[in-house]
Amino acid sequence: MLRQIEGSRAIAETVALCRPEVVCAYPISPQTHIIEAIGAMVKAGTLAPCEFINVESEFAAMSVAIGASAAGARAYTATASQGLLYMIEAVYNAAGLGLPIVMTLANRAIGAPINIWNDHSDAMAVRDAGWIQLFAETNQEAADLHVQAFRLAEELSVPVMVCMDGFILTHAVERVDILDQATVDLLLPPYEPRQVLDPADPVSIGAMVGPEAFEEVRYLAHLRQLDALERIPVIAKQFAEVTGRASGGLVSSYRTEDAQTIIVALGSVLGTIKDAVDMRRDLGERVGVVGITSFRPFPGDAVREALRPATQIVVLEKAFSVGFGGVLSTDVAMSLQGEQHVLRNVVAGLGGRAITRRSLEELIATAVRGELPVLTFLDLDHEAVDRERTRMAGTRRSGPSAENLLRDRGTVGVSTSRSDS
Amino acid sequence: MTAAEILAVAAFAEGRHAQAFPSFGSERTGAPVVSYCRIDDAPIRTREPVMAPDALIVQDVTLVHQVDLFAGLSHDGYVLINTSRRFTELGFEDHFVDFDQERLLTCPATEIALEHVGRPMPNAALLGGFAAFTGQITLDAIQQAIRDRFSGVVGERNAAAAKAAFEFVTNAKEEFLHASTN
Q: Look at residue A421 in the predicted model and tell me its pLDDT.
A: 33
Interface contacts (A, B; CB < 8 Å): 64
Residues A131 and A160 both lie in one domain: yes
Q: Look at residue B25 in the predicted model and tell me its pLDDT.
A: 62
Across A56-65, A111-120, A402-411, B152-161, least confident range? A402-411
Which of B27, B39, B40, B48 is the mutation pick for testing A, counting most A CBs within 10 A?
A: B48
Residues A7 and A92 both lie in one domain: yes
Residues A230 and A293 both lie in one domain: no
Q: What are the pLDDT digits (tens) for A142-181?
A: 999 999 999 999 999 999 999 999 999 999 999 999 999 9
Residues A180 and A293 both lie in one domain: no
Q: What are the pLDDT digits (tens) for A363-384?
A: 999 999 999 999 999 999 999 9
Q: Count Cβ atoms within 10 A of the Cβ of residue A398 and give its class: 0-12 exposed, 13-18 middle, 19 or more buried.
A: middle
Q: Residue B20 and residue A173: Cβ atoms within 8 Å?
A: yes
* Chain A residues lying within 8 Å of B22, measured CB to CB: 167, 171
Tell me the percentage of chain A whose pLDDT exceeds 70. 98
**CATH code where residue A367 lies:** 3.40.50.920
Homologous superfamily of B2-181 in CATH? Answer: Pyruvate-ferredoxin oxidoreductase, PFOR, domain III (3.40.920.10)
Which of A174, A176, A318 is the mutation pick for testing B, counting most B CBs within 10 A?
A: A174
Q: Which residue is closest to A360 within chain B, CA to CA? A: B48
Report the phi/psi class of residue A351: left, alpha or beta, with left for phi > 0 and alpha for psi in -120 to 50. left
How far out from the chain centre does Cα A122 lie? 8
> Which strands form A261-265's sheet, in the order they lie side by side?
A251-254, A287-292, A261-265, A312-317, A342-347, A375-377
* Chain A residues lying within 8 Å of B20, measured CB to CB: 172-174
How far apart are the C-alpha atoms of B87 and A421, rounded to whole Å?
A: 40
Q: Residue B45 and residue A357: Cβ atoms within 8 Å?
A: no
Determine the distance in angstroms separating the CA of A220 from the nearest CA of chain B, rounded to an integer: 39
Q: B2-13 and B139-149 are packed helices; what angle lies between their axes, rounded to 10 degrees?
A: 120
Residues A258 and A313 both lie in one domain: yes
Number of domains, chain A = 2
Residue numbers of the domain that contains A358 = 251-377
Query: Any chain B CB within 8 A of the CB of A269?
Result: yes
* Chain B residues lying within 8 Å of A116, measured CB to CB: 24, 27
For residue A357, give the nearest of B11, B27, B46 by CB distance: B46
Non-local CB neighbours of A194 within 8 Å, separated by 6+ positions = A98, A157
pTM for the complete prediction?
Answer: 0.95
Q: Residue B49 and residue A275: Cβ atoms within 8 Å?
A: no
Q: Which of A211, A243, A275 is the last residue of a domain?
A: A243
Query: Any chain B CB within 8 A of the CB of A165?
Result: yes
What is the distance in angstroms between the CA of the first residue and the CA of the last residue of chain A? 55
Q: Residue B45 and residue A354: Cβ atoms within 8 Å?
A: no
Neighbours of B175 (CB within 10 A): 10
Query: Any chain B CB within 8 A of the CB of A354?
Result: yes
- Check the CA dihedral A292-A297-A300-A305 and report its sign: negative
Q: What are the pLDDT digits (tens) for A237-276?
A: 999 999 999 999 999 999 999 999 999 999 999 999 999 9
Q: Which residue is closest to B21 within chain A, CA to CA? A: A172
Give domain status of residue A416, yes or no.
Answer: no
Query: Any chain B CB within 8 A of the CB of A245?
Result: no
Average pLDDT, chain B: 92
Flag whether pLDDT at B62 surpasses 90: no
For residue A171, give the nearest of B21, B45, B51 by CB distance: B21
Give domain status of residue A388, yes or no.
Answer: no
Tell me the percentage of chain A whose pLDDT exceeds 90. 97
How far apart are the C-alpha atoms of B14 and B140, rounded to whole Å?
A: 10
For residue B49, give the nearest of A4, A269, A354 by CB distance: A354
Q: Look at residue A420 in the predicted model and tell me its pLDDT.
A: 35
Q: What is the mean pLDDT of residues A313-317?
A: 98
- CA distances to A169, A237, A249, B53 from A271, rounded to whole Å, are 12, 22, 17, 19
Give domain status of residue A383, yes or no.
Answer: no
* Chain B residues lying within 8 Å of A355, measured CB to CB: 47-48
Helix (H) / strand (E) element for A133: namely: strand A132-135
Q: Look at residue A413 in the predicted model and tell me its pLDDT.
A: 57
Residues A284 and A369 both lie in one domain: yes
Q: Look at residue A415 in the predicted model and tell me its pLDDT.
A: 44
Give domain status of residue A277, yes or no.
Answer: yes
Confidence of residue A29 (pLDDT cuts 50, 70, 90): very high
Amino acid at A121: S
Flag whether pLDDT at B23 surpasses 70: yes
Residues linked to residue A314 through DSSP beta bridges, in sequence order:
A263, A344
Helix (H) / strand (E) element for A152: namely: helix A139-156
Give domain status of residue A179, yes or no.
Answer: yes
Query: Any chain B CB within 8 A of the CB of A105?
Result: no
